[in-house]
């Protein structure tokens, strides 16, 4: 089956859209969604298996690296996948990303020690960085912006499904055949994605001279590595004022500035700095970072609350998160349909930041005795807020750039959201730790520092927490819930800034099938669009 429609010929051929029919899109969508589900699932499925991995390898001191290694390579590689796919085409790069991810999964499942697992998780992350960004970039290639909303809602549902299925499936596999199966489960999903993509994703690609920016790639990788090591490892472990943490943060700043200078000079930049000249792209890049900061950072505490306070198993806590995925489904699909019908999208990120902020405010009121149905309502509101913006902002950014920068623009948006999530997770973890000790000092009668430190350490493990005797268990749970409330409140200023960005970022009509290629400069001049509309009348 041919999956391309002939592009019109002429001088602008390299930029002429080669959009697919609805039937063709549905076939391709299956492969892209399977690939994205792989990467999204792996972000949440590993957490429930970590206690068993620690027990088998006796390596509590290196536990955080199982998560950090994946996060580091997936975030650092995201802009590289996008840029290289702009040069060589989406299909071969997406296939390479799936193969890399599956290779890392097989090797991780066969790990014999914690060092091997950390290394193979880094290989997984390398593939995951491509799965996320290339799926969105491919959607930008085959679907016109005006119609993209009808399909992007399904991608939001994939993220929602993975956030629930990850803890649930991780709990079932860990309690059943063992933790290694959280990696083996990737094989059938990945092979399905590989088969569909290999068979039907045949996109036209105009070959041109290539020059990979190796210096920029090395510098951006160094900057991301320094930042993630500072916020995910050195800060929480050694302290935020230590020489190691300060040196890593200083290196991040120096390397980031160097990266911008390099990208301004090279002919084929990984992240074209011209993208940020457009108010739409730069506005939604900042919005993606802030929403990622608030969303990913705070969501990790919901399973903790359900398992520690409500005493649910990992499997039960995964099921308890269902209201969130219902909220995502109920908002992402209808909003995508409306966006395609009207060609307008500005209202959705605005409402999204308001709903997510409201949900965070409600979550800050959680207590030991909060009924589950209250929490279910809060999670539904959170899911609805996320569903309104998760993919719409990507569509708006894609619509504002020339097609030749589609891969770079999409991967840059994914990069900013991933960085927001990584930094948010670290910041919220630091807030939780510091506020927990302060609350314990207020709660425990005649508390000594030794008692407070002991209870705070017990709160880091659900098993240790439940092993405490009363009244110490009650004190620890009370302090944990109060500290979690502070974490949710910390997200509000960032969501307020996101709301301001959503309001001030201009809107550009979504292009349809009959529209010509984007001008070289990217975003259309809104005054020209208004003049054209007036002339038509």
Confidence of residue 19 (pLDDT cuts 50, 70, 90): low
Over residues 98-125, mean pLDDT: 90
The CATH architecture annotation of domain 16-204 reads Up-down Bundle (1.20)
**DSSP state string for 307-324:** HHTS---HHHHHHHTHHH
| Reported pTM | 0.76
Question: Which pLDDT band, with edges at 50, 70 and 90, does 97 fall under?
Answer: very high
Q: Does domain 272-510 bear CATH number 1.20.1250.20?
A: yes
pLDDT band per the 50, 70, 90 thresholds, residue 308: confident
Confidence of residue 492 (pLDDT cuts 50, 70, 90): very high
Kindly report, residue by residue over 363-392, the tens digit of the pLDDT: 999 998 899 999 999 999 998 998 888 777
What per-residue confidence (pLDDT) applies to 61?
58
Q: Is 369 helix (H, G, I), strand (E, B) or coil?
A: coil
Instruction: Sketch the domain layout of the chain as residue ranges.
Output: 16-204, 213-267, 272-510
Return the residue matching tokens 């590289």.
80
Q: Tell me how crowded residue 189 is: count the other CB atoms within 10 A of its CB.
A: 17
Range scoring the smallest mean pLDDT among 41-50, 93-102, 104-113, 480-489: 41-50
pLDDT at 481 over 60: yes
pLDDT at 378: 94
With cut-offs at 50, 70 and 90, classify the pLDDT of residue 83: confident
Stretch 105-114: mean pLDDT, rounded?
A: 90
- Residue 152 has a pLDDT of 67
Stronger pLDDT, 512 or 508, i.e. the higher one: 508
Residue 211 or residue 109, greater confidence:
109
Residues of the chain above pLDDT 70, percent:
82
16-204 matches 272-510 in fold: yes
CB 218 within 8 A of CB 80: no
Say which residue, 448 or 221, is predicted with more confidence: 221
More confident residue, 399 or 124: 124
- Output the DSSP codes for 325-347: HHHHHHHHHHHHHHHHHHS--TH
Q: What does the pLDDT read at residue 374?
A: 94
Provide the pLDDT for residue 10: 36
Between residues 41 and 380, the one the model is more confident about? 380
Q: Which residues contact 130 (CB under 8 A, 6 or more apart)?
A: 77, 78, 81, 93, 94, 96, 97, 100
CA-nearest of 32, 66, 29, 73 to 418 is: 73
Report the pLDDT averaged over residues 64-69: 73
Tally of helices (H runs) and strands (E runs) in the chain: 23, 0
* Stronger pLDDT, 30 or 530, i.e. the higher one: 30
Please give the Cα distance from 385 to 392 (Å, whole number). Answer: 12
Under DSSP, is residue 346 helix (H, G, I), strand (E, B) or coil? coil
pLDDT classification of 136: cutoffs 50, 70, 90: confident
Residues constituting the chain: 537
Q: How confident is the model at residue 529 (pLDDT cuts 50, 70, 90)?
A: very low
**Cα angle 440, 242, 253; round to 5:** 115
Look at residue 471 and give its three-state secondary structure. Answer: coil
């Amino acid at each position: 089956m041919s999956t391309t429609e002939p592009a019109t010929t002429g001088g602008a051929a390299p930029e002429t859209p080669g959009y697919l029919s609805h039937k063709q899109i549905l076939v391709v969508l299956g492969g892209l969604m399977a690939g994205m589900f792989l990467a999204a699932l792996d972000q949440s499925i590993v957490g429930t298996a970590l206690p068993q991995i620690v027990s088998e390898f006796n390596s509590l001191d290196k536990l955080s690296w199982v998560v950090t290694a994946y996060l580091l390579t997936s975030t650092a590689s995201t802009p590289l996948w996008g840029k290289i796919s702009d040069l060589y085409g989406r299909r071969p790069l997406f296939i390479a990303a799936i193969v890399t991810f599956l290779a890392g999964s097989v090797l991780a499942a066969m790990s014999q020690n914690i060092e091997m697992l950390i290394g193979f998780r880094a290989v997984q992350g390398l593939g995951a960085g491509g799965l996320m960004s290339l799926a969105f970039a491919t959607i930008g290639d085959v679907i016109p912006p005006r119609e993209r909303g009808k399909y992007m809602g399904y991608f939001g549902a994939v993220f929602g499904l993975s956030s629930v299925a990850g803890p649930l499936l991780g709990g079932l596999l860990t309690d059943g055949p063992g933790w290694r199966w959280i990696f083996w489960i990737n094989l059938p999903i990945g092979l399905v994605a590989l088969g569909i993509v290999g068979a039907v994703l045949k996109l036209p690609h105009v070959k041109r001279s290539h020059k990979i920016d190796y210096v920029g790639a090395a510098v951006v990788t160094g900057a991301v590595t320094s930042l993630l090591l500072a916020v995910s490892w050195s800060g929480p472990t050694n302290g935020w004022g230590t020489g190691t943490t300060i040196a890593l943060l200083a290196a991040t700043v120096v390397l980031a500035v160097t990266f911008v200078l390099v990208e301004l000079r090279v002919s084929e930049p990984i992240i074209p700095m011209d993208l940020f000249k457009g108010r739409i792209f730069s506005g939604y890049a900042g919005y993606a970072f802030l929403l990622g900061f608030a969303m990913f950072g705070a969501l990790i505490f919901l399973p903790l609350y359900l398992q520690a306070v409500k005493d649910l198993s990992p499997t039960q806590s995964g099921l308890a998160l269902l209201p969130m995925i219902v909220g995502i489904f109920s908002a992402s699909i209808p909003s995508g349909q409306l966006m395609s019908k009207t060609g307008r999208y500005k209202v959705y990120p605005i409402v999204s930041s308001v709903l997510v902020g409201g949900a965070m405010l409600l979550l800050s009121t959680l207590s030991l005795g909060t009924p589950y149905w209250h929490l279910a309502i809060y999670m539904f509101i959170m899911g609805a807020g996320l569903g309104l913006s998760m993919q719409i902002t990507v569509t708006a950014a894609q619509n504002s750039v020339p097609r030749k920068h589609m891969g770079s623009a999409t991967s840059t948006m994914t990069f900013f959201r991933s960085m927001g999530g990584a930094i948010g997770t670290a910041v919220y973890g630091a807030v939780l730790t510091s506020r927990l000790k302060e609350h314990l000092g207020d709660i425990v009668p005649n508390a000594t520092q030794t008692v407070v430190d002991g209870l705070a350490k017990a709160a880091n493990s659900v098993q240790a927490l439940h092993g405490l005797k009363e009244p110490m268990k009650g004190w620890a749970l009370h302090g944990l819930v109060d500290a979690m409330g502070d974490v949710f409140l910390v997200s509000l200023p960032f969501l307020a800034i996101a709301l301001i960005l959503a309001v001030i970022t201009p809107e550009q009509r979504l292009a349809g099938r009959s529209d010509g290629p984007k001008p070289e400069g990217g975003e259309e001049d809104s005054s020209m669009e208004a003049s054209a509309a007036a002339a038509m009348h």
